[in-house]
Structure 1
Amino acid sequence: MANKMVGRPRKFDDADVLHRAAQAFLQDGFEAASYEHIAAAMGLSKPSLYNAFGNKTALFERVVSEYADQAHKFIVASFSNAKSLDQAVEDLFQGAAQFYSRPEDPSIGCLLIGTALPATSQYANIRDTLTSFTLSLETSLEEVVSSRYERDAKKIGKSPTEIATHISSLIFALAVRARMGLSREQLSDIAKKLAALIH
Structure 2
Amino acid sequence: MQWPNRTADDSFAQTVGQAASGVGMRSLLTRRSDHVVLVADDRPHARALYEALARETGTRSGTIGVSAPCDSLGDIPHHYEEARRAMDVRRHSRERYGTTFFDELGLYRILGPGNDYRELETFVQQWLGQLIDYDSRHHTAMVETLSRDFDCGGNYDETADSLAIHRSTLRYRLQRIRDISGNDLANVEDRLNLQVATRVWKIVLGGPG
TM-score normalised per structure 2: 0.26
Query: Which of the pair is proportionally richer in strand?
Result: 2
Which structure has more relative contact order (CA 8 Å, sep 6+)? It is 1
